[in-house]
Amino acid sequence: MAANPLAKRYASLKALASKDLKSDAVSAELASIITLSMDFVRKRAKLVKLISNVPGKTYAMVALKTGVKTSRPINTALFDFKLTDAELAAVAAGTDIEKIPRPRLDQLLYTAAMSFCVATDLIGEGNKKSPGTFFEIYIGHLVALTLKVNPAKKVVVPTTDAAETDNTLPTDFIFDLGPGKSRIHMPVKTSTRERVVQAWAHQRVLEGMLGAGRYKGVLVVLTETNKQKDVSVVEVCLPGQWRAYQMYIAPMFRVYYLDLPKAYEPLRDQYPFIQIWPFSRFFSEYEQLGKAGP
Amino acid sequence: MAANPLAKRYASLKALASKDLKSDAVSAELASIITLSMDFVRKRAKLVKLISNVPGKTYAMVALKTGVKTSRPINTALFDFKLTDAELAAVAAGTDIEKIPRPRLDQLLYTAAMSFCVATDLIGEGNKKSPGTFFEIYIGHLVALTLKVNPAKKVVVPTTDAAETDNTLPTDFIFDLGPGKSRIHMPVKTSTRERVVQAWAHQRVLEGMLGAGRYKGVLVVLTETNKQKDVSVVEVCLPGQWRAYQMYIAPMFRVYYLDLPKAYEPLRDQYPFIQIWPFSRFFSEYEQLGKAGP
């Protein structure tokens, strides 16, 4: 194509999100960028099967019909190429999202999240940050709609010295659920790899500054897939390290994945019992997040 | 040039370092790669002044005489283009390094560290990781020579459950100074930016697993300079965040820089008193690192 048709929409999405993340304007812009991405992928690309090295999961990628570019791996059980524009718009607007039964909701959430990422892989114009920023806005929008409050992206550091002035610390999303409730500290990443320790470290700083349990850590991740030599797919998982971080840095209250890695599922049932679940579960349990206890 | 003359030396350096980091063979290979880098820069590049936005520091870059490639910023007070091969070889071998007076030692250490990084910027063949790996080997070699012990790159995680088997955690350099002494946990980075929190987080895991003070955290960084629009230089510093990490994650015992950022110097004198010093100081105080107390 002559110019990247998604670039303009993406710039508009960023501008709207920074003004009011839970607004109808962001819902509309997300719906528009997601359907545009799906249209592009359907028209210009073909599906190519990949070898899955993950038991029980099948993966494919999309490849440009004319050109050499290919996309990141796509979980074929979760990605629905035939989603209608109306369904995608409903996801973006968070419409009755808690009423959608869970296997279908997983598909809707994953397909909408991957649409722009996959299309950007195929267009491939430099900006590697845009899928990450899109995903952060997409998740932040759905969570803000559900919790009915926009997040902050910094916290005030309490001063312990009269000579000091107030200081603020930049953070991931911070959702303030109001008086008497826990607040939510929510890092959002398309994948984590060795960088995941940042989520636990920032949770530790919040706990140290403001008390244990004041901020509940909720990490949201798209996937941990990695495409090797363009033909096979693995999930890059570090369960031993995650357990050490949960035990020795700070507890994360939930970890949500849009494509939950197989190797992380057992972590729920062994000490320190990291609660790693499909992101769809957030919409049925979000009221717990502001309360005490597990 | 037809092929990258440094690539073969770099591959050889990596292989030798993985076998025995403090060996004479690594000293010789480091000397060879450093002098080759300096030769290349002297012959093929010219010095171009940059606008310094850092009070009291002047910066330049090197630019290919034929071509468009330019290097990262070079602190002109610390980089000595006229260093002889003999001087560079002496640094690489750690020869009498503690006897060299400090302003000169700062120049030797910085010039040798930057040589390969700057040459690689000009050759610019893909491998973005090689300056970081070179710097890690260079620092690890000098520290291992001084402490007379090679580092490990993992620690054993103690198990607290009979059903578990022993687990190891990959880490940065771990120097074991022997019975009755603290061990050194040493992350090495060419620059840190927002990734610096990893150093504190890993220190926290070690303290949590194995007790406060058992491992002393010593972070070694080359520089925090950033070149903007190819003409001016800033130092990217986050002193407020560093203080929060030191207070709430875990204490780092020392932070050493080869080009110490101006904005970090005051952290030594205000709570929590992070001890940030030129790397040259390590060679006069390394015996303290194994002992109790600050």
Hey, is the C-beta of B228 within 8 angstroms of any chain A C-beta? Answer: no
- Digit-coded pLDDT (tens) for A269-286: 998 999 999 999 999 999
Distances (CA, A) of A120 to A180, B54, B258: 42, 38, 40
Query: Which of A106, A99, A84, A202 has the alpha carbon at shortest distance from A146?
Result: A99
Q: What is the Cα–Cα distance from B229 to A142, expressed in whole angstroms?
A: 37
Q: What is the Cα–Cα distance from A64 to A69, expressed in whole angstroms?
A: 6
Query: Which of A218, A273, A272 has the alpha carbon at shortest distance from B208?
Result: A272
Q: What is the Cα–Cα distance from B248 to B100, expressed in whole angstroms?
A: 38
Question: Is residue A171 situated within a structural domain?
Answer: yes
Q: Are A211 and A109 within one domain?
A: no
Tens place of pLDDT for every residue, chain B, 294 residues? 446 779 999 999 999 999 999 999 999 999 999 999 999 999 999 999 999 999 999 999 999 998 889 999 999 999 999 999 999 999 999 888 989 998 999 999 999 999 999 999 999 765 678 999 999 999 999 999 999 999 999 988 777 666 666 678 888 999 999 988 999 999 999 999 878 999 999 999 999 988 888 899 999 999 999 999 878 999 999 999 999 999 999 999 999 999 999 999 999 999 899 999 999 999 999 988 877 655
Indicate the number of domains in chain B: 2
DSSP sequence for B165-206: PPEEEEEEEEE---TTS-EEEE-EES--GGGGHHHHHHHHHH
Hey, is the C-beta of A210 within 8 angstroms of any chain B C-beta? Answer: no
Hey, is the C-beta of B202 within 8 angstroms of any chain A C-beta? Answer: yes
Question: Is residue A135 situated within a structural domain?
Answer: no
Query: What rounded mean pLDDT belongs to chain A?
Result: 91
How many other C-beta atoms are found inside a 10 Å radius of the C-beta of residue A55?
A: 6
Q: Which of A169, A201, A240 sits opposite B169 (nearest CB)?
A: A240
Please report the ipTM that was assigned to this predicted complex: 0.89
Query: Which value, to the nearest 10 degrees, does the dihedral of the CA atoms of residues A152, A153, A157, A158 take?
Result: 10
Helix (H, G, I), strand (E, B) or coil at A17: helix
Question: Is residue A213 situated within a structural domain?
Answer: yes
Q: Are B152 and B130 within one domain?
A: no
Beta bridge partners of A145: none
CB contact under 8 A, A169 and B244: yes
Q: Which residues of B touch A208 (CB under 8 A)?
A: 247-249
Mean pLDDT confidence for A84-107: 91
Q: Are B172 and B97 within one domain?
A: no
Domain stop point among A67, A100, A128:
A128
Q: Which residues of B touch A241 (CB under 8 A)?
A: 169-170
Q: Are A121 and A155 within one domain?
A: no
A206 pLDDT tier (thresholds 50, 70, 90): very high
pLDDT value of residue A210: 86
Q: Are A188 and A276 within one domain?
A: yes
How buried is B167 (Cβ within 10 angstroms: 0-12 exposed, 13-18 middle, 19+ buried)? middle
Q: Are A151 and A238 within one domain?
A: yes
Q: Which residues of A touch B271 (CB under 8 A)?
A: 160-161
Query: What's the half-sphere exposure (Cβ side, CA atoms, 13 Å) at B287?
Result: 2
Question: Is residue B234 situated within a structural domain?
Answer: yes
Q: What is the Cα–Cα distance from A196 to A243, expressed in whole angstroms?
A: 12
Domain that holds residue B200: 147-289
Residues 28-57 of B with CB under 8 A from A: none
- Digit-coded pLDDT (tens) for A140-182: 999 999 999 999 999 887 776 666 666 788 889 999 999 889 9
Query: Which of B253, B248, B252, B258 has the alpha carbon at shortest distance from B278?
Result: B258
Q: Are B20 and B123 within one domain?
A: yes
Q: What is the Cα–Cα distance from A115 to A123, expressed in whole angstroms?
A: 12
Question: Is residue B141 situated within a structural domain?
Answer: no
Q: What is the Cα–Cα distance from B181 to B165, expressed in whole angstroms?
A: 27
Q: Are A121 and A204 within one domain?
A: no
Q: Which residues of B touch A205 (CB under 8 A)?
A: 244-245, 248-249
Hey, is the C-beta of A195 within 8 angstroms of any chain B C-beta? Answer: yes
Q: Are B277 and B200 within one domain?
A: yes
Smallest CA–CA distance, residue B232 to chain A, in Å, is 23
Strand extents, DSSP E, chain B: 45-52, 59-64, 74-75, 152-157, 167-175, 183-186, 188-189, 215-221, 225-228, 232-235, 254-257, 276-278
DSSP sequence for B47-67: EEEEEE-STT--EEEEEESSS
Smallest CA–CA distance, residue B125 to chain A, in Å, is 18
| DSSP letter, residue B147 | H
Prediction pTM value: 0.92
Q: Are A104 and A223 within one domain?
A: no
Smallest CA–CA distance, residue A193 to chain B, in Å, is 13
Domain stop point among A94, A128, A162:
A128
* Sign, Cα dihedral of B185, B190, B196, B198: negative
Question: Is residue B142 situated within a structural domain?
Answer: no
Question: Is residue A153 situated within a structural domain?
Answer: yes
Query: Which of A192, A175, A197, A190 has the alpha carbon at shortest distance from A252?
Result: A197
Question: How far does CA B163 lie from the centroid of its chain?
Answer: 40
Q: Are A106 and A190 within one domain?
A: no
Q: Are A119 and A168 within one domain?
A: no
Which residue type does B149 have?
Answer: V
Question: Is residue A264 situated within a structural domain?
Answer: yes
pLDDT value of residue B292: 61
Which structure tokens are listed for B117?
A: 């990084």
Query: Which of A109, A98, A44 has the alpha carbon at shortest distance from A75?
Result: A109
Domain stop point among B134, B169, B185:
B134
Query: Which of B220, B223, B202, B199 has the alpha carbon at shortest distance from B136?
Result: B220
Residue with tokens 């010789």: B28
Residue with tokens 């502001």: A290
pLDDT value of residue B2: 43
Are A230 and A77 a contacting pair, CB within 8 Å? no
CB contact under 8 A, B247 and A208: yes
